[in-house]
Chain A
Amino acid sequence: MTDPAPIDPAPIDPAPIDPVTLAVLKGRLEQIADEMDATLFRSAFNPIIAEAHDASHGLYDPATGDTLIQGKSGLPIFVGSNAFAVRAVIAKAAKSGGIAEGDVYIFNDPYDGGTHLSDFRLVRPYYRDGQLVCYLASVGHWHDVGGNVPGNYNPAATECFQEGMLIPPVKLYDRGQYRPDIVDILQSNSRQPGSLYGDLNGQLSALELGGKRLDALIDEYGLDVIRAALIELRRRAEQLMRANIAELPDGTYSAEDWLDNDGIVDEPLKIALDMTIAGDRMTLDFSRSAPACQGPVNIARSTTVACCYVALKHVFTEVPANAGVLDPIEFVIPEDSMLSVTAPKPVGGYTETILRIIDIVFSAVDKAAPGRANAHAYGTINALSLAGHREDGRRWVMFSFFGGGHGGHPEGDGLSHGNAPISTATIPPLEILEAAYPVRFTRWALRPDSAGPGRHRGGLGAVYEIEVLEKSGGEAFLFADRGRHAPKGVAGGHEAAKNAFFFDTDSGEASPPMASKMVGIKLRQGQHVRIESPGGGGWGDPFERDPATVLRDVALGYVSRERAAADYGVSVGDDMTIDEPATEALRRAEGRS
């Protein structure tokens, strides 16, 4: 696996393109990718795609696989990772007779251009007049791909084989010839073969539609113009990225953070970044990070690169989503690192690791340019499943990701109860969950004092408490993090509350021994589990927060009076007014005024 190389010289040197046509074509090309996204969202069977939009589509370079155009609606983390998928297909084809018109490859190999086994990728070369113009790719998170745990979030996995089936790049279509055997193999390895079939067909429809739309666009503008636009758009993204990097002062900026553990061995895992700025180039060096671990929080090198892309897109939002973003960036990731694993190291819990990388990229940018970046968001996917059997023996599995707060930022407080930075997924309504599964939510609320204090505080995390209604009880599985290391603040802001998980036992309430990861928690009818999710970190010195704003936070119950005094130096009296002298004394005592 190599890093995305600078773009190869095009086979034909394209004519220069005028800036106005370029602006027009940028919109037209992005619309094609957006429309591919929409086609799959609407026709998917599986709610992870249909509701949570855990999918993505785009156009990729015919020689290198680099991202040329990416939709705006797809899952952010896939924006970066699909390029590696196309590259894997190019490499596979090179070894087996070359790519041909009418081929469609399918695979989910996380070590070769994938993310985790649930994400299935389809890659199709797009030809025009016998020439390979680009690749179209589709990725979607399938409902079930086998393995030990339904839904494939298995915190106890020590090899990828316990996580699900692993399919290398194989041809689903060979020169236009459909190979149903491949689908038979896939279906017989899933607990949800029908859903799998529906999603697969949705992805094929999206690829077909992308090809049709591209045909029409080339009819209208001619192949040379489209090709010139693709190259020029990438050059401009690179130029914009370089301009952004150049605004950061030269130097090396270090940040590190921890994962609680890997779910197998209860030891913290360090994720460390040394970010070097030299003019308009950036080096992201992860050498000080932990080596590969036993449990499923490892990631492949391509995933590390992809999530840095997501982090940088969050910092430099106006840079278009194509490979130009990565051109001025060099990655240093040692081969024995947990951020660069190969088969069969388990990778199912990749979400926790990439969220932590995004956090430390924010921290490093903050060190380079204090105040520029957001504070950490809640930093865990909080995947919880509750499962059991109904009276008639049918199995039920409720699986959902739970939210938390976003970090404070230069423009204001963080958003309370947001979705994870790597996704745009919404949470299902509790009424839908209660109608589908034998559970009752007893709380669905904001979590007071969970936000990291700051001049702009973090958003609040949430409290979700769920009771099992089924007579035979149930079992809970938790895959999360941030139970021992809180989301951090930036620019003088403070950290947020940690993640906390509780479950009823016959002898009272308990928490997982490994804080944030646990399998097979037995629950009787009437017993509860409760997630108290982290808020976001704070931005700026909390003692600089306007006391009137702190008072409002207290009045609304976001911040307790105790924390207002301790974290913000604001004393709120019994009558819910600010005690001015006491506040002054508190703020002076800290020696900050």
Chain B
Amino acid sequence: MSGRYVIGVDVGGTFTDVFILDQSTGSAEIRKVPSTKPDQSQGFLAGIRAGVDAVPSIATVVHGTTVGTNALLERRGAPTGIITTAGFRDVLEMRRRDRPATWGLRGEFEPVIPRDRRLEVSERVLADGSVHTPVDTAAVTAAAKQLLAMGCQAVAIVFVNAYANAANEQAALEAVRAVWPNEHVTASHRILPEIREFERTSTATLNAYLQPVVASYLERLQAALKGDGFGGDVLIVQSNGGVMSVDTARQVPVRTALSGPAAGVIAAAHIAGSAGFPNIVTCDMGGTSFDVSLVADGQTELSPQTSIDFGMVVRQPMIEITTIGAGGGSIAWVDRGGLLQIGPESAGSDPGPVCYGLGNDRPTVTDANVVLGRINAGRPIGGKLSSLDVEGAKAAIETHVAKPLGLDVMAAAEAIIRVANSRMAGAIRLVSIERGHDPKSFVAMPFGGGGALHTGALIKEVGLAGALVPRYPGVTSALGCVIADMRHDFVRTVNGLLDGVDMAELDREAAAFRDEGQGLLDRAGVGFEGRETLLEFDMSYLGQTHTVAVPVPVRDGAGASLGIDRETVRAAFEARYREVYGRILEGLAIRVLNLRVTAVGKRPKFDLSILAPGDGASLAAADRGKRQVYVDGAWHEAGIYDRMALPVGTVVPGPAVLEQADATTFVEPDLEAVVDEFGNLLVRRKEAS
């Protein structure tokens, strides 16, 4: 590979983080610049220019983007139309007949495509794949023209049972392409040839809805980079934690829905793995939410389907992230039954917590941390404010929490943290204990600015082995971009009995997917350390509706076969089923629902020890004196340290506060923090040493 630098760029709501790996010297640098709106590419380039003197010397730029996520959440996709089977234009709006909340029967649903832009044409395929009614291509052409006249910039074509036979949909795709003035045409079988019409419709529709937005963003980005003399590759992080080429991203932008968070989890897995912790729970604490994700044995967990919002379903493999509404900005309040509650209402980042002094007067989790002395009011992180209003925060806690509960203000502040910690602990339990994992073999890895304030308490509440705070918790996602593998997922619905399906045909199809995936890897023009093909079937016993994902080993090399046969698949299913449910059910027929093939191109990793503190680090240089911190009902004198200046091997006993530009780590009195050889902080129980 030519070029010195590999650069990871993560564009967040407030900051654009840039991680620059210099391959020639083996050193790394970090830049944080303000994000720009509405055009994120401005901040993107500013961040790169801030860290690299010569743009032409960049080999690869890898990007975790929230352009797609934000367009979905804020409903700012392009005007889009649907062309669908006669009788079914409302599938998108009817969802799966659900509702947003169990209690109350409130809430509405507004589909991203209004009903008048959902047009029907005569066509029908049956469940067995036979064509009941051939597609009326003249009607398709007329529908496309009508949508164009209505101002649509993108279109999704979704026909009933297209998963079973795509002939009608394919013919319609060609008819639309003949008149559509741009590339923003999505056919459902191309993006998700899987049974379940609502999930396929929603995924295809959201893809079309994002195409113009994401494509024009990527165009601007590439043009600007080229203008600076950049001649390398741009790669985009997908929600599954792998990267894809810009070309693929333009065709399947829906795969970027969780791009940024996925990069963070990838980085966390790598950092923790290098430090000797293959089992982690990542904890990302933002202003309004707390996101957790589980990595077991170094493997991230993928979820086949995610709801971005009520009724906004994307069925594509995505890193499984569990979110609860408890962030730094979550508001603490006492309900009419006299119970202390945290959230779901949040002050967000604007006006933000009371201590920001921007107009909010209801106390938040951050306010409690400030009042307790755990956040340094004179040195706020992020650099937006010069100091925090401690007295204001105190007054708010007094009024809204202390008085109604009959507590003094310090006890009330601590109560807020305790209840918030307990909700976060609940989220961690949900992904660990509830899935059968033993918390003693896991560590928490906080990233983002606020997580490391709480992980000490989480260790104790959940029974985790410890917490590993990465050297740069604020730029974890940017680092993840640099190391993520390239990954392409394929799926097809089989829906037959194991004893009845044509296994040789399935084997050929799997091999064809492998070839398509390897082709995409070839065309990406990226150097790989190695390649891999993964094969999985979604299977169950006949009569069950929930399937288990069954990995099946494949034969290496080329050829029209992956070497799978019925007995291998049966054995793999039974092993997996036993693992999940503790038993197999003899004598029952086994069903194969979906075939999934994944092509992985392994990208080179770098040695994380380049991030470790340099020779200048010493305990004396790191010492910032003492501060009073309130814990367990009493004030304690806590050591305050400049975290970046702590040398490898230092053991900092709690109570202590470790400060750095974009994060604060709080070490409780019964815990200690150790700086490992990569510069990570391992927070653990004192008796562990």
Contact = CB atoms under 8 A, between A and B. Distances in A.
B423 A51 contact: no
B671 to A, nearest CB: 19
Interface stretch (B11-19, B474-482, B540-548, B557-565): B540-548
Contacts of A23: 339-341, 415, 419, 422
B578 interface: no
A28 B433 CA distance: 13
Given A50-B546, A318-B335, A412-B108, A443 B126 contact: no
B196 interface: yes
Contacts of B115: 446, 556-558
Interface stretch (A424-432, A476-484, A513-521): A424-432
Contact of A431 (B195, B543, B585): B195
A409 B87 contact: no
B95 A19 contact: no
A308 to B, nearest CB: 14
B38 to A, nearest CB: 27
A236 B90 contact: no
Contacts of A414: 105, 108
A355 to B, nearest CB: 12
Size bin of chain B's contact surface: 35 or more
A42 interface: yes
B383 interface: no
Interface stretch (A58-66, A134-142, A169-177, A415-423): A415-423
A76 B108 CA distance: 20
A20 B419 contact: yes
A414 B106 CA distance: 7
Interface residues of A, number: 76
A593 to B, nearest CB: 27
B99 A431 contact: no
A6 B8 CA distance: 62
Given A407-B105, A431-B196, A440 B97 contact: no
A362 B234 CA distance: 58
B75 to A, nearest CB: 16
A430 to B, nearest CB: 6
Nearest to B95: A417
B88 A418 contact: no
A421 B105 contact: yes
A434 to B, nearest CB: 4
A116 B666 CA distance: 55
Nearest to A143: B543
Contacts of A374: 105-106
Contacts of A76: 102-103
Interface stretch (A153-161, A181-189, A237-245, A543-551): A237-245
B491 interface: no
Interface in A511-553: none
Interface string B179-194: 0000000000000000
Interface string A189-210: 0000011001000000000000
A50 B415 contact: no
B405 interface: yes
A1 to B, nearest CB: 26
A370 B545 CA distance: 44
A148 interface: no
B543 A409 contact: no
B415 to A, nearest CB: 4
- The dominant DSSP class at the B interface is loop
Contacts of A444: 87-88, 90-91, 94
B105 A406 contact: yes
B94 A435 contact: no
Interface in A408-467: 409, 411-419, 421, 424-427, 429-432, 434-435, 440-446, 462, 465
B441 to A, nearest CB: 17
Interface in A11-41: 19-20, 22-24, 26-28, 31, 35, 38, 41
A426 B161 contact: no
B501 interface: no
Contact of B197 (A35, A430, A469): A430
Contacts of A27: 422-423, 426
B108 A427 contact: no
A403 interface: yes
Contacts of A412: 106-108
Interface in B409-435: 415, 418-419, 422-423, 426, 429-430, 434
A313 B103 contact: yes
B109 interface: yes
A73 B430 CA distance: 14
Nearest to B111: A416
A162 interface: no
Interface string B593-625: 000000000000000000000000000000000
Nearest to B94: A417
In the A-B complex, the 7 residue pairs with the smallest Cβ-Cβ separation, listed nearest first, are A236-B337, A240-B337, A403-B97, A427-B97, A434-B127, A426-B96, A20-B415
11 contacts: A23-B341, A403-B94, A412-B108, A415-B107, A415-B108, A417-B95, A419-B99, A424-B102, A429-B199, A444-B91, A444-B94
Given A31-B430, A194-B543, A415-B100, 16 more contacts: A20-B415, A20-B419, A23-B340, A23-B419, A28-B422, A42-B546, A50-B545, A240-B337, A243-B336, A317-B104, A406-B105, A412-B106, A417-B90, A418-B98, A431-B127, A558-B115
Interface of A: 19-20, 22-24, 26-28, 31, 35, 38, 41-43, 45-47, 50-51, 72-73, 76, 194-195, 198, 236-237, 239-240, 243, 313-314, 317-320, 374, 377, 403, 406-407, 409, 411-419, 421, 424-427, 429-432, 434-435, 440-446, 462, 465, 469, 555-558
Interface of B: 87-91, 93-109, 114-116, 124, 126-127, 132, 160-161, 163-164, 195-199, 335-341, 405, 407, 415, 418-419, 422-423, 426, 429-430, 434, 495, 541, 543-546, 581, 585, 588
